[in-house]
Structure 1
């Protein structure tokens, strides 16, 4: 594609402003700021799950943020003002950077409100709510959660769909994952190592994936980590770090979380790395958030998980995800809606891109920590030479033949009535 030659001073201005955003957001670590420490878990389990976790506003006050929130909000406000001063009101890349500054200020406001009702309300502004519809007249995220649960319940008793035993220790998973990612990114690009300091089974960083040292895995788990954490989360970070001018693409505010998790879940599906147990985990997170939005407290969510056969430890861990940053009887932290919400939005976007013949826009989702609303602008920025196409792409997005064929069929199938199909197939299934 042809690229318009841009003045060097214009590119330098954008790079300088972009670098200021990257620098300003460095100490903001949302999940670290909202998580409950292990003493809360130990106390809850000591009381056999019969009393609410000991978390109140004073608990969060005892764990101060790693930055001065007033100064940090002012810093982003000054960057936003300088973006307008140097680039004008309607400059496309300036509009993206200004929105990021506004979003980071809202993130700080949310973290300032830990342990109050405002925390949950601001969380809904940033990540959405379970009662949100995808489009006018469409079902909500809560409807999707119930629908998927119903489907999963119908196949739950099949013995041939049971998970394989988790026989891989963390060290084995590290070696297997390191080998697979090395074949895609190069041997020294991504590091995989064991860690004692994480709650989840795995966590991705800028150029690494940490595996919890005491966790056990099976090969399906490792495959899911490969595509979810490696090909998407680390891959898009590396692509963002590779940007010579729009360096802000290496860092993602909450709005990019929906795109990130949507791409990751889509990759699990099209790489045949997903499975019913994994889908139920994501579905339960959505249902738990919806229940909390409707007034359920921590113990209600905890018993929701226990009734599905999860252990006390697993049920505590899942319930605490919904209330971290909030109070055990307050509104939930809604970040975990990003998985199913992002999957639906990304799937619809790709389907529409194929229908309209705009395949070139699909790989741009991997340019960095992108958001769906910026994809048209990203195409313009690539044409102008301000953004470079992604270096690292999953095979399914590097060669769009199979994905395009699938979406062509999908576009047609969307016009068929499932109720009519079910009635017609009644005698054969």
Structure 2
């Protein structure tokens, strides 16, 4: 209440509308709504991977959403209407909130279409498709995936680049990760909790103030370092920064458009913190290639076979393929959220390069002020000047040191103008 007494009438209106968006999105949990249960996995493995998983529209109908879809769409429609009524058509923060309302309505329509082709089509609207180009004439995400796979294949057989043995249990990883995050976010404050969980598909998943580690997964120290950077410094850090917003509380919650920014930041952080490695990168390129296969008509068995050909065991191949078709049917269009990693990395990298080139370094840390979307960055800069948004409290060291980041990007801008093909020809006798 003390905080609200300090806000003027305009700020109170923005805060109230923002809080309504936060409250309205609370029961919408996309991954929970589209995940497959363990019985599907057991049946598939029992059939030795030769039969399509029995997932169709009826499968999802038997698992109703945790909210009334019609009522929830109306709720977002009402909020969007009130944003326009109370802030006007062209108010910058109002435009962000209206877009969020429209995105959440689209998410609900996607979840209503589980098990149908409409699910995949709406997914492409929200997260993009593998055949999307970054700019006119540029390679697509599918092209990028193939190119990176080619690079990785050339170094795959080097004995000195093999992964360290995974000797850390989930319990070990939890303890190590908790210790490292306490150094960043504060020990004893209970800011971030790390704990084991049986209910997740990935090795780890971040929530608002916690990181869950899959109980049956094994890790090495490099894995833990990647989790610290990806899940901790980026995903949880931006959530905490969003929760620290006194007025634009919607920045604590991310619609699909922010997923691309989030995952792009997380992958970029892995790279510049030297926490990534070839096996990790191959996992991301395989996700892009698998989605492209499904967009081109491949079914679950085809994508499962693709992963088997990449050297994955049956169970892991099933898990990877199920990420592609969750929410869809076993022979339907893919769920394209996993394109966000490589797509986001390229878009964020380009954004930071341009910010450095134009001398707008102050814009870069604002990527961390909450669950941001690239198209809002100029607006967010203005909102910080107006006092509607506060700068991020938690910021990775690499983004606090704008001297080093800008120097790196200046060199990168120059190197991008060099012809790698010409360099390769010139260096043929020495490499």
TM-score, normalisation: structure 2: 0.98
Partner of 1:256: 258
Partner of 1:108: 108
How far off its partner does 1:408 sit?
Answer: 0.4
Alignment of 1:193-342 (within 5 A): 193-342=195-344
Gapped regions of structure 2 (runs ≥ 5): 1-5
Determine whether 1:119 maps to 2:119: yes
Partner-residue secondary structure (3-state), 1:194? strand
Task: Measure the CA separation in 1 of the matches of 2:280 and 2:58.
Answer: 36
1:40-98 deviations in Å (ceiling 9; x for gaps): 00000000000000101100000000000000000000000000000000000000000
How far off its partner does 1:199 sit?
Answer: 1.8
Task: Measure the CA separation in 2 of the matches of 1:86 and 1:415.
Answer: 48
Structure 1 segments of 4+ aligned residues over 6 angstroms from their partners: none
Task: Measure the CA separation in 2 of the matches of 1:218 and 1:7.
Answer: 48
Q: Give the aligned CA root-mean-square deviation in angstroms.
A: 0.8
Partner of 1:156: 156
Determine whether 1:71 maps to 2:50: no
Task: Measure the CA separation in 1 of the matches of 2:74 and 2:284.
Answer: 37
Determine whether 1:27 maps to 2:32: no
Partner of 1:95: 95
Partner of 1:58: 58
| 2:362 pairs with one of 360, 363, 374 | 360
How far off its partner does 1:7 sit?
Answer: 7.1
Count matched residues.
Answer: 424
Alignment of 1:12-51 (within 5 A): 12-51=12-51
Task: Measure the CA separation in 2 of the matches of 1:134 and 1:299.
Answer: 30
Task: Measure the CA separation in 2 of the matches of 1:133 and 1:281.
Answer: 21
Greater Cα offset, 81-90 or 180-189 = 180-189
Task: Measure the CA separation in 1 of the matches of 2:114 and 2:333.
Answer: 11
Partner of 1:3: none
Partner-residue secondary structure (3-state), 1:217? coil
Partner-residue secondary structure (3-state), 2:388? coil
How far off its partner does 1:366 sit?
Answer: 0.3
Partner-residue secondary structure (3-state), 2:196? strand
How far off its partner does 1:228 sit?
Answer: 0.1
How far off its partner does 1:111 sit?
Answer: 0.2
TM-score, normalisation: structure 1: 0.98
Task: Measure the CA separation in 1 of the matches of 2:366 and 2:31.
Answer: 27
How far off its partner does 1:400 sit?
Answer: 1.3
1:144-181 deviations in Å (ceiling 9; x for gaps): 00000000000000000000000011111111111111
Task: Measure the CA separation in 1 of the matches of 2:411 and 2:7.
Answer: 45
Task: Measure the CA separation in 2 of the matches of 1:189 and 1:77.
Answer: 34
1:243-281 deviations in Å (ceiling 9; x for gaps): 000000000000000000000000000000000000000
Partner of 2:3: none
